[in-house]
Structure 1
Amino acid sequence: MLFGDIETALAAVTSTRSRLAKVDVLAALLHELEPGEIEPAVGFLTAAPRQGRLGVGWRTLATRGGSHAPVPTLTVGEVDETFSRLVEVGGPGSATVRTALLDDLAARATESEWQLLIRIMTGELRTGALEGVLVDALARAADRDGAAVRRAAMLSGDLGETAALALTGSIDELAAVGLVVGRGVQPMLASTAATVSEALDAAGRASVEYKLDGARVQVHRHGDEVRVYTRTLADVTHRVPEIVEVARSLPVDDVILDGETLSLDDDGAPRPFQDTMARFGAETAREIALRPWFFDILHVDGRDLIDEPLAARIDELDRVAGEYRIPALVTDDPVAAETFAQAALHAGHEGVMVKGLDAAYSAGRRGKSWLKVKPVHTFELVVLGVERGSGRRAEWLSNLHLGARDPDGSFGEPGGFVMVGKTFKGLTDQLLRWQTAHFAERATGEVPGGIRVVPDTVVEIAIDGVQRSVRYPGGVALRFARVKGYRSDKSAAEADTIETLRAMLPGGGVGSSVDEPENPLDERTTP
């Protein structure tokens, strides 16, 4: 298949807000792929090449000018081969080789194909071709049951691999995809409730559990072999030896556990989230130790548990996890649940999770059977740009441009992000130094006073509320936004949506807008 066919399909997807139309276009494209082209093509459609990070930045790609091919001749296989060679290059002279590879790719691509390749290589591809749409398109192209395709993608953790199996394998082979100890599973996600009582009304009799301000971990053990994955299924086993040690101490041979990890101070209280993430990202053990708390179990000693109700999973979890079980209370009494929630807050945690006892483990899905209740409004947003600081911050990138997900393109580009405010509040010197280096490598262009960046960095923002505004397309702006910390454990696809923020407006986001200041103090006028 020509790479130009990918470009044509993405243009058609971008031009419509109709989910059915997107599915039609993508299904037709997937149906025409050769077996060896399936995984690369899925990577191109999602701006997630199967090779992973290619190690090339926007500034390097932007300088690859010169002449381009007059007509499309570049194939999917040729692009995939070039990407593979880019990640294999290393050692002395590697920069020269990488430059030659990019120059050759640019020359063989048409001008519009090259612009698309830049967006794929930098991760800045906003087409509305989200994984959910691709799964539906894949089911249609392969003439397979959508639920079976979706389940296989969730349990394998790899959409490209699932696509290849659905399009070239049998129905039985697709149905046989299941839990494999040692292979990451897309985690179940939670929705939000305003109060514990509201959450109990929705969930019924439930397990009310401490909501920790830590990092999600999925722990797999097969004999003495242990693997630890983040919520994005990155393997961080080598970074968390203390969690590996805990896993090996448990009374099982094979197990998959879902949980959270954070670091504690000398008094046993949780350290700030930034401390946990700094330790979580370290290559070797440091003075700050991580402790796991497990809140679910997906498999134990040959028995898959994801389709069993939470009540049954809890019985096994209590037996297996022991002292590493997260504090929890099974109840349907709002008073008892609220008292438990207050105890969680008093212990320094974020709030509670309320989980219906009858619910199965819905891998990769966000539903109403898991509900988080936190008294402070916090949201995970995506950084769209960063302005340079002033005064003593002049040497750093400081003021963040924040965006919420717009999956349906209701307020902008389908599959993109809608800007909802700016903030420089809550940034320590350590974070300023980190984000200056980080975003310099993620630059894709310029904004007034700063740079536009690849929208793949998630930051947790605390706010006092939202207000109506005509400043932004979504009609909503953040009030008193401040940074709690960067969430390297989360992907942009997990960021909160514009509709979630609009739901906080009086009347649920309907009514006239007023043009309010996006921040009560502009950094450039602050001493």
Structure 2
Amino acid sequence: MTSFREFAQACKVIEETSGSLDMTALVADLFDSVTPDELPVVTHFVMGEIFPAWSYEEVGVGAGILFSALAKAAGISVKDIEELVRDTGDIGKTAVLALNKKSKGQATFSSFLEEKHELSILEVFERFRDISKVSGKGSQASKIKNLQYLFNSASSEEVGYISLLAIEELRIGVGEGLVRDAIAKAFDVPSEDVERGFMLTNDMGLVATTAKEGGADAVRGLGLKLNRPIKLMLAQITPSVESALSDMEEAAIEWKFDGARVQIHKDGDNVILYSRRLEDITHSLPDIVESVRKFVHADTAILDGEAVAIDGNGRPRAFQDILKRFRRKHDVSSTAKEIPLTLNLFDIMYLNGENLIEESLVKRRELLLSCVENDTTIHVDAQVVTNDLEEVDRIYTEALKGGHEGIMIKNPNSPYSPGKRGKNWLKKKPVMETLDLLVIGAEWGYGRRTSLMGSYALACHDNQTGRFLPVGKVATGFSDEQLTELTEMFSELIVMESGKEIELKPEVVFEVAFEEIQKSSNYESGYALRFPRLVNIRDDKSVEDVETIERIGEMYRLQRERS
């Protein structure tokens, strides 16, 4: 059994280490030191998460619940906790200070006679799992009680890390790339095998355990599994059709629909739908579920497609209308009638027990066409394989006339690469380039917007360290109605406030347009956006979908080359 104290001590050393190679070695040592049943928990913990991304489980602890639990454990008021947060600027440090105050001010004779219970890693995890299971009336009190138990059982070394894990804000510089390399180092498995295993399972904890117990052969044996969503293959923007075609002998051209991505898992009549964020949205889209049951003729399948909302004139409706369908928890049937959806299928990754991701796009499309019966509500999208520039331009023009975003240009010989954004899938759009960035903070407004969050701090992602790097603020592109809705939504995600400045739990993705990317010493990323404006609130995208610092740097270089 490994104590949580040992985990906390390891995190502190990792956090204080600067070089990525040294950090990788430390994480590898940690992975090697724990038992097989502790390893998946530790793997997720060091990445700042409790459960794997595909899991339905969610801790659901916000700042309010955390502050209440800390206050009860320390014997002080929630207001005292809030003041400590303002003073320290850090929830972990606040937890340590609050519990240290208790130990100094509330010690009794009996406390010296009692041996303090030492928490294990698995005990902390099980408490988080208990917290995730409670719902309905009394759930908040139950969550506070479980957290209070952890705080009262923890040492000062542990409480900060428990607090940050509870709100999934533990960031010690360990991202997916570093964990991949640490698993490879700890268990002598090629890093490319670790990465492939992760892309197929979407569970780094499972990959780590498989590597520890079975080595490289076992990791290579990991594959797709029904009802466990995998990361979606992604596209990158091409500057021109000409440059895209020059890299391919022939290209498969499809419309780029103005919709929302959907991953479909079919097992007989059981159909589960996942959003781009890999959240289960089955309940919200009963019409799509019924269409899949009726028109996808396969015992088992995993499919990739785009759900599009069409208006009375046959043109796509606003993206926010689609999100209304995805968000809907109640009155689902009436909303489905109000905003009907069409499912455009364009890929298949699994069919009747066979993993297809290594097959070429051409082969996968043949199999997709063989098992889908086209209907008004569901169909395989049109595709033309060509190297004729005029033909591509014609399809591009048709897509734009139809109200869609542009075209996809795909390599016909390419495999399906989960989670990868590369040159096998390219997209061409006419609009100003946009970035998907994470909202990490906000500011209260001025004048008539005093009670509203008027501007939002944005960040990109550093895959190696797992950190979010600020790239600027956006304060335009909002209506007053939107600001009111956003203020209400972000009020649930406030971590701390200082004057007008607000730190937010990083969960929401903004699609932002901009005039150019500039070098800047004002932001940790080293870049800043000139004249950013909000285009969309991307509820369909998750933290993993935000732009990387490498991508920002690449765009900056291309921008310089064109000027």
* CA distance, structure 1, for counterparts of residue 18 and residue 235 of structure 2: 26
Match of 2:35 in 1: 34
SS in 2 for 1:99: helix
Return closer, same or farther for 1:451/1:12 CA change in 2, 3 Å cut-off: same
Deviation of the 1:507 alpha carbon? 6.8
SS in 1 for 2:247: helix
* CA distance, structure 2, for counterparts of residue 106 and residue 160 of structure 1: 26
Match of 2:300 in 1: 254
Deviations 1:132-151 (A, max 9, x none): 32122223323334333333
Matching of residues 508-523 of structure 1 within 5 Å: none
SS in 2 for 1:190: strand
Return closer, same or farther for 1:345/1:21 CA change in 2, 3 Å cut-off: farther
Deviation of the 1:16 alpha carbon? 4.4
Matched, 1:483 2:543: no
SS in 2 for 1:10: helix
Matched, 1:471 2:506: no
Look up the equivalent residue of 1:339 and give its one-letter code: R
Alignment check: 8 A CA contact 2:189 2:215 kept: no
Alignment check: 8 A CA contact 2:509 2:541 kept: yes
Taking only aligned residues, the RMSD between alpha carbons, in angstroms, comes to 2.6
Matched, 1:307 2:355: no
Return closer, same or farther for 1:72/1:18 CA change in 2, 3 Å cut-off: farther
Give 1:419's match in structure 2, choosing from 470, 489, 492: 470
SS in 2 for 1:505: helix
Unpaired stretches in structure 1, ≥5 consecutive residues: 409-413, 511-527
Deviation of the 1:463 alpha carbon? 1.9
Matching of residues 118-517 of structure 1 within 5 Å: 118-169=163-214, 173-248=218-293, 249-283=295-329, 284-285=332-333, 286=335, 287-321=338-372, 323=374, 324-375=379-430, 376-408=432-464, 414-505=465-556
SS in 1 for 2:523: coil
Match of 2:61 in 1: 56
SS in 1 for 2:172: coil
Match of 1:524 in 2: none
* CA distance, structure 1, for counterparts of residue 324 and residue 480 of structure 2: 14
Alignment check: 8 A CA contact 2:457 2:474 kept: yes
Rg bigger for which structure? 2
Match of 1:513 in 2: none
Alignment check: 8 A CA contact 2:512 2:532 kept: yes
**Which deviates more, 161-170 or 22-31?**
161-170
Deviation of the 1:385 alpha carbon? 0.5
Deviations 1:96-147 (A, max 9, x none): 3332322221222233422222222222233331123212222332333433
* CA distance, structure 1, for counterparts of residue 236 and residue 360 of structure 2: 18
**Which deviates more, 151-160 or 75-84?**
151-160
Deviations 1:148-168 (A, max 9, x none): 333332222222233223323
Deviations 1:252-297 (A, max 9, x none): 3322111111211111111111111121111223111221111111
Match of 1:3 in 2: 4
Look up the equivalent residue of 1:276 and give its one-letter code: I
* CA distance, structure 1, for counterparts of residue 210 and residue 305 of structure 2: 30
- TM-score, normalised with respect to structure 1: 0.88
Deviation of the 1:80 alpha carbon? 1.0
* CA distance, structure 2, for counterparts of residue 5 and residue 370 of structure 1: 45
Match of 2:110 in 1: none
Count of matched residue pairs: 505
Alignment check: 8 A CA contact 1:502 1:509 kept: no
Deviations 1:23-55 (A, max 9, x none): 211111111112221222122112221284222
Look up the equivalent residue of 2:408 and give its one-letter code: M
* CA distance, structure 1, for counterparts of residue 152 and residue 498 of structure 2: 29
Match of 1:45 in 2: 46
SS in 1 for 2:454: strand
Deviation of the 1:220 alpha carbon? 1.6
Look up the equivalent residue of 2:352 and give its one-letter code: D
